[in-house]
A and B are shown apart, each in its own frame.
Chain A
Amino acid sequence: MTKKPFKLTTRQMVTLSALIAVAMILSYIESLIPAFVAVPGVKIGLSNIATVFALYTLGWPYAICVSVVRVLLSALLFGNFVSLIYSLSGAALALTAMILLKKIDSFSSIGVSVAGGVCHNAGQIIAACIVMETAAIALYIIPLIVSGTIAGVVIGLAAGNLVERIKKYL
C-alpha cells in the first residue's frame, strides 16, 4: 500500500472505479429484493461488501471514496434529497466505526462489518430524528440492532472471503 494515501496510480484508480461500479450494481440488486420485515431500514447492505473490500485491500481513504460516491450516485439515480441525507449520515457513522475498528486491529472483517451495519442503522435513525424533529422514531433502532448485526456477519464473511481470494491479483 502506498505511503501517500491520496496519490492514485492508474491501477488503483481503475480498481477504485471497478469497486464503485460493483457497489452500484449491488445496491441495485438489493433494491430488487422485496422487504421481508415490516420495519423500515432492515436490509442486507450488499454494497457494503465493496466498502469492506476496499477498506481491507486499498486502505481507508478508498473505502470512504467507494462508500460516499456510491451513496451520491444512488441518490442521483434512484433517490431524492431526503434519502440522500439518511444514506450519507448512515454511511458516515458506519465508515467511522469500521475504520476505527480496523485500526484497533483486534477484529476480523466480520466484526468490522457488524459494527458498520449497526452504525449505519444508527446513523440513519439519528438523521431521521433530526429531519423529522422527533424522538418518537428512536425506538426503531432496537430491531435494527439485531438485523444490522446479522447483516454485518453475512457481509463480513463475504467480504473476508473475497479479500482472501482476490487480494493477490490486485
Chain B
Amino acid sequence: MLKKILENKKLRSDIILIAAALFVGLVALLVAFLLREDGSRVVVSVDGKKVAEYSLNVDGTYYLNDGTNVLVIEDGYAYMKEANCPGFQDCVEKGKISYVGQSITCLPNKVIVEIVGEGEEILS
C-alpha cells in the first residue's frame, strides 16, 4: 500500500505539498505561540478608523459602534459579550483575548478590537 502510493508520482507530489503546507502552518503557529506577550491596552477600530482605546487593567463594559457590539474588559482579558448580527457570531465565539496582537473581529459591523502592548502604535 505505502509502496504503491510512493510509486505514484502525483500522489507523491500531493504528499509533499500537504506536508509543506502543514509544516509552514504549524511552525507559524508555534512561533506565534512562543512570541506572545501580555497586552496592556485595547484598541477599538470601526471601519478602519480607531475610535477608542481602553486599558486592559481597568474593568468595564463598553458599547461599541452605537451599541452594535458590547465589549467587556475583565481581569486583564477582553471579550465581546454581545453583537447584533444574525446567525453565527464569530466575535462572541472568539472568547477572551489578552496577548499582544490578538484581535476580535466583527466582519458584518466592521468592528475590530485589538490588543496592543505598552507604548506600541497600532498598525493600520
Contacts and interface: CB of A to CB of B under 8 A. Distances in A.
B76 interface: no
Contacts of B25: 142-143, 145-146, 149
A152 B20 CA distance: 14
Given A133-B124, A137-B105, A108 B22 contact: no
B28 interface: yes
Nearest to B30: A142
A115 interface: yes
B48 A110 contact: no
Contacts of A145: 21, 24-25, 28
Contacts, number: 99
B34 interface: no
Contact of A137 (B8, B17, B112, B122): B112
B11 interface: yes
Contacts of B101: 136, 139
A107 B14 contact: yes
B10 A106 contact: yes
Interface string B29-45: 10010000000000001
A132 B48 contact: yes
A143 B45 CA distance: 23
A106 B34 CA distance: 36
Q: How large is the interface on A (under 10, 10 to 19, 20 to 34, 35 or more residues)?
A: 20 to 34
B47 to A, nearest CB: 7
A111 B16 CA distance: 9
A38 B107 CA distance: 15
Contacts of B123: 134-136
A86 interface: yes
A142 B17 contact: no
Interface stretch (B53-61, B67-75, B89-97): B89-97
Contact of A114 (B10, B21, B48, B107): B21
Given A80-B108, A133-B124, A106 B13 contact: yes
Given A137-B103, A142-B28, A145-B25, A115 B17 contact: yes
A20 interface: no
Interface of B: 8-11, 13-14, 17-18, 21-22, 24-26, 28-29, 32, 45, 47-48, 88, 90, 93-95, 101, 103, 105, 107-108, 110, 112, 114, 122-124
Interface of A: 35, 38, 40, 80, 82-83, 86, 106-108, 110-111, 114-115, 118, 128, 131-137, 139-140, 142-143, 145-146, 148-149, 152-153, 156
Nearest 4 CB-CB pairings of A with B:
A133-B48, A145-B25, A146-B25, A111-B14
